[in-house]
Amino acid sequence: MEIINPLCLLTMYCPSLCLAPTSMHSYINPKCSVPIALCLPPMENNQPYECSENNECVHSSWVPNYDVFLNHRGKDVKETVASLIFHNLKNKGLKVFLDKNSIQVGSNIPQVIGDAIYSASIHVVIISANYAESSWCLKELTLIFKTGAPIIPVFCGVEPSELRMKDKDGVYARAFQKHKQSGNFEPHAVEEWRKAFREVSYIKGYIFTGDQGELLEKIATSVAELIGRGKSQPKQKNKETCDNSHII
């Protein structure tokens, strides 16, 4: 069986993002038939990442467990809505991932983010005006959907319908067109981001209207309910299908 790490999918999208060259190795996954650049984390008890015969990737038990992962556009909401949500949930005893507070100096950033996404019980996706400009945000969003964990959208200054990009001259449509024309990403990858972005608009969430206190409490209530539901009906989140859609 071929060694594979299903968690460092951000590095699969852009191998150059891996900040630890000594841990970079290339393997041929016979199930994918495409070379995959992988970031291999330290193995615990000699338990590697493996692709099984039924085409599923299994990881070992070292992955940190987060209750909530905050996906957001930093320049729009990191110091405002994202930070408020982070501190409110943390004060309620939850383990929350927000990049600026959760990534330690010296850490491999793409690997840490990939691990956090994969291990989180709930994902809060904060959509703002400049969200779709960031390929990083869109890559995270795509991985979030692949985990199968619940998503709570928070729409800041935008309406959910805007994500469907019916207006071809809208800010989001222009952002995706720019990604497509940049030549930095494969067309199928940009299309995958577009589908994930559009899908968020169909998930019931919250529209931020300016009342921060009300928003924070609603999110906290929803998170608590979803975590409680997950504990009563635990999901297996230790497998990720290996296919070519992860690779750019």
Looking at the annotation, which residues are catalytic?
140
| Interatomic CA distance for residues 34 and 121, integer angstroms | 31
Which amino acid, 169?
A: D
- Both tokens of 205, joined, read 């969430």
C-beta neighbour count of 88 within 10 angstroms: 19
- Both tokens of 213, joined, read 């206190």
| Unique residue bearing structure tokens 């599923």 | 56
- Both tokens of 130, joined, read 């400049």
Which residues in 31-68 are b (16+ Cβ under 10 Å) and which e? Answer: bbeeebbbbbbeeeeeeebbbeeeeebbbbeebeebbb
| Interatomic CA distance for residues 148 and 101, integer angstroms | 25
Report the candidate in 130, 154, 152, 138 with the shortest Cα–Cα distance to residue 191.
Answer: 138
> Kind of pairing, strands 68-71 and 24-29?
unpaired
Please count the helices (runs of H) and the strands (runs of E) in the chain.
9, 10
- Both tokens of 114, joined, read 């990939």
DSSP helix, strand, coil percent of the chain (3-state; round to 5): 45, 20, 35
